[in-house]
Amino acid sequence: MKGQLQEQPIRPMPAARPLAAAERVKVLEVTARLRTLPGALLPILHGVQDALGYVPPGAVTLIAAELNLTRAEVHGVVTFYHYFRTAKPGKQVLQLCRAEACQALGAVALEQHVKRRLGVDFHGTTADGRYTLEPVYCLGNCACGPSLMLDRELHGRVSADSFDALVGVAS
């Protein structure tokens, strides 16, 4: 379709999808619980992501109002940190280490294998909605790499074969 794109008038960013009622309840529950902490925003964003799996863009206005911050301040924090995601992840999150100690044991080749097997790039979710693949820079398992974390479970000495066994890929 290249070359056929019409120039678009500059428009403000579309409003985020409004929060579903159940999500709204969760977000308010988290803010009510944590808002009095000094420096409450990070604990609240963690709380929201723990409850919903992500920080929905629609939650930004609500969190901002609850903490008496601007939307820009909250949006700025959400997008600064790699850990917070703004799209719903798959059933399980797979964090693959890209750092030097794992590189020294073949992490680059493993990364290619993982992407091929799952059919996604980093930050992508598999077609069946099962896994979201994310890069991570060090899991502190540097003597036994390459390493990955599946949800909160750490795996060391990962090979192409052991990866396939872990995610249950039929060969």
Partner 1 sequence: MSVRVYVPQDATALSLGADAVAKAIVGEAQRRGVEVRLVRNGSRGLFWLEPLVEVETAAGRVAYGPVRVPDVAGLFDAGFLEGGRPALGHPLSLGVTDEIPYLKKQERLTFARVGITDPLSLDDYLVHDGYRGLKHALAMAPADIVQAVTDSGLRGRGGAAFPAGIKWKTVHGTESAQKYIVCNADEGDSGTFSDRMVMEGDPFVLIEGMTIAGMAVGASRGYIYLRCEYPHAHRTLNAAIATAYARNCLGADLLGSGRSFDLEVRLGAGAYICGEETSLLESLEGKRGQIRFKPPLPAIKGLFGQPTVINNVITFASVPVILDRGAPYYKEYGMGRSRGTLPFQLTGNIKRGGLVEKAFGVTLRELLYDYGGGSYSGRPIRAVQVGGPLGAYIPASRFDVPMDYEEFAKIGGMVGHGGIVVFDDSVDMAAQARYAMEFCAVESCGKCTPCRIGSTRGVEVIDRLVAGQQPVKQEALLRDLCETMTHGSLCALGGLTPGPVLSALNHFPEDFKRHAKAAA
Distance CA 91, CA 110 (A): 22
CA dist., res. 159 & res. 110, Å (int): 7
Residue 102, CB half-sphere, CA atoms under 13 Å: how many? 26
Contact flag: residue 96 with partner 1 (CB under 8 A): no
Residue 138 sits in the site that holds partner 1 (CB under 8 A): yes
- Dihedrals phi, psi of 125, to nearest 5 degrees: -115, 135
| Selection from 112, 59, 92, 107 nearest residue 166 by Cα | 92
CA–CA separation, 93 and 88 (whole Å) = 11
* Residue of the chain from 3, 9, 14, 39 that contacts partner 1 (CB under 8 A): 39
Q: Which of 24, 113, 115, 155 binds partner 1 (CB under 8 A)?
A: 155
Least distance from partner 1 to the Cβ atom of residue 5, Å: 26
Contact between 100 and partner 1 (CB under 8 A)? Answer: yes
- Segment 62 to 81, residues that bind partner 1, using CB under 8 A: 73, 76-77, 80-81
Stretch that binds partner 1, among 5-13, 38-46, 112-120, 121-129 (CB under 8 A): 38-46
Q: Which residues bind partner 1 (CB under 8 A)?
A: 38-43, 45-46, 73, 76-77, 80-84, 95, 99-105, 136-145, 147, 149, 152-157
